[in-house]
Structure 1
Amino acid sequence: MNNDKGLFKTLLEILMISTRLGFTSFGGPVAHLGYFHEEYIRRRRWMDEKAYADLVALCQFLPGPASSQVGIGIGVIRGGILGGFVSFLGFTLPSVAALIIFAIILQGMDVSDLGWIRGLKIVAVAVVAHAILGMAQKLTPDLSRKAIALLALVITLLWQTTYTQVGVILLSAIIGFIIFRNHKDEAASSIKLAISKSFATVCLVLFFSLLILLPLLREATSIQWIAMFDSFYRSGALVFGGGHVVLPLLEQEFVPSGWLSEEAFLAGYGATQAVPGPLFTFAAYLGAVMNGWTGGLLATAAIFLPAFLLILGTLPFWDGLRRNPKIKGALMGVNAGVVGILISAFYDPIWTSSILAPIDFAFAAVLFSMLVFWKLPPWIVVVTGAAGGALMTLL
Structure 2
Amino acid sequence: MSKRQQCLLNRDRTMKRSRLVPKKHLYLVLDDWDEGFSIHKIDLDTLQDTATDLQVGFPEPAVLRLGAAELSLAAFGSNIFIATNPRCGQTPALVYNTETGGLTMGPRLPAPLLGCFDISVAAGDMLYGLSSYHLNVKRQHSFEVLSPAPTADKQPWSTRSSMNWSWKSVASPPPLNEDEIITSYVLHPDGQTIVMSVHDRDDPCLAKGTYFFDTKHCEWRWHGEWVLPFQGQGFFDSGLDAWVGLHEDGYICTCQVASRSRSSTSTTQPEWKMSKDKLFCSESERHLGATLTYMGDTRFGLVDCVVREELEPECAFGDRDGCVLRLIMFGLNYSQRGELQTKIYRTTSYLVSKYLVSFAPVAFWM
TM-score, scaled relative to structure 2: 0.26
Higher Rg of the two aligned structures: 2
Relative contact order higher in (CA < 8 Å, ≥ 6 apart): 1
Of Structure 1 and Structure 2, the greater strand share is in 2
TM-score, scaled relative to structure 1: 0.24
Of Structure 1 and Structure 2, the greater helix share is in 1
